[in-house]
Amino acid sequence: MMRLYRAPFSTNVERVALALAHKGLEVHSVWIEYSDRSPVERVSGQSLVPVLEFDDGAVVFDSMQIVRVLEERYAQPPLYPADAAGRARMIHFVDWFNDVWKAAPNAIEAEICRDLPDVSRIDALAARMQAALDRFEGMLEGRAYLTGDAFSAADCAAYPFLKYALWRDPADDELFHRVLDGYQRLGDDHPRLAAWIERIDEAPRV
Are 163 and 14 within 8 A, CB to CB?
no
User: From the first residue on, what is the mean pLDDT of each consecutive set of 10 residues in the chain (206 residues)?
Assistant: 97 98 98 95 97 97 98 98 96 98 98 98 98 97 97 98 96 97 94 98 95
**How do beta strands 27-31 and 2-6 pair?**
parallel
What would the 3-class secondary structure string for 33-98 be? ECCECHHHHHHHCCCCCCEEECCCCCEEECHHHHHHHHHHHCCCCCCCCCCHHHHHHHHHHHHHHH
Q: What pLDDT score does 197 carry?
A: 98
Distance CA 63, CA 51 (A): 8
Indicate the length of the chain as a whole number.
206
Instruction: Note the CATH number of domain 2-73.
Output: 3.40.30.10
pLDDT for the residue numbered 187: 87
Q: Which distant-in-sequence residues (6+ apart) come within 8 Å of 203 by Cβ?
A: 18, 21, 22, 151
Backbone region of residue 122 per phi and psi (left: phi > 0; alpha: psi in -120 to 50; beta: other values): alpha
Best CA proximity match to 12, nearest among 78, 70, 62:
62
**Beta partners for residue 3, in sequence order:** 28, 53
Q: Identify the CA nearest to 21 among candidates 105, 63, 77, 68.
A: 77
| Fold of the domain built from segment(s) 84-201 | Glutathione S-transferase Yfyf (Class Pi); Chain A, domain 2 (1.20.1050)
Q: Which one-letter DSSP state was computed for residue 163?
A: G
Q: DSSP string spanning 7-20? A: -TT-HHHHHHHHHH
Question: For residue 196, what pLDDT is reported?
Answer: 98
- Looking at residue 90, what is its pLDDT? 97
Which part of the chain has CATH 1.20.1050.10?
84-201
CATH 3.40.30.10 range(s) for the chain read 2-73
